[in-house]
Amino acid sequence: MRAFAQRFECAAQIVHVSRPVRTVLWENVIQCAFKALVQGYVEAGRKCSNEGRALMQLDLQQLVMKMETMVDLRPIPYRAYVENYIKAYYLPESSLEQWIAQHKEYTGNQMIALLNVATHVSKKARTRIISALDD
């Protein structure tokens, strides 16, 4: 991301880029980065401890701090997309089912991965929720 920021600044010295265009560009770059981060969490593995989720939150905080040094957007857009996904792991079974129904911004595969690492969710509930996702 830093390399992109440097190249973009070099290009912006040659060709004028208005503030609204910069904002839209950076919003899209950040959105793609955060979507890739959530997808990385999905593909990372089948098990995740509470400590692992806490480390994910720390990683996100570090990434946001780096982004704040590169862009002048405050707050950093789409941060909640990653935060909500990480925090959903901590929800009790009944709340997690409701959360999944309300958050259509995540893919079915991302929801299934979340359910699979949430060891506090019963196998019966996991199966029921996954079946509902498939419908």
**pLDDT tens profile 70-91:** 998 999 999 999 999 999 998 9
pLDDT of residue 58: 95
pTM: 0.86
pLDDT of residue 86: 93
8-state DSSP, 91? S
**pLDDT tens profile 100-118:** 989 999 999 999 999 888 8
Q: Please state, in angstroms and rounded to a whole number, the distance separating the CA atoms of residues 73 and 79.
A: 12
b/e burial code for range 79-93 (CB count within 10 A of at least 16 → b)? bebbbebbebbebee
pLDDT of residue 8: 87
**pLDDT tens profile 17-75:** 899 999 999 999 999 999 999 999 998 867 777 888 889 999 999 999 999 999 989 99
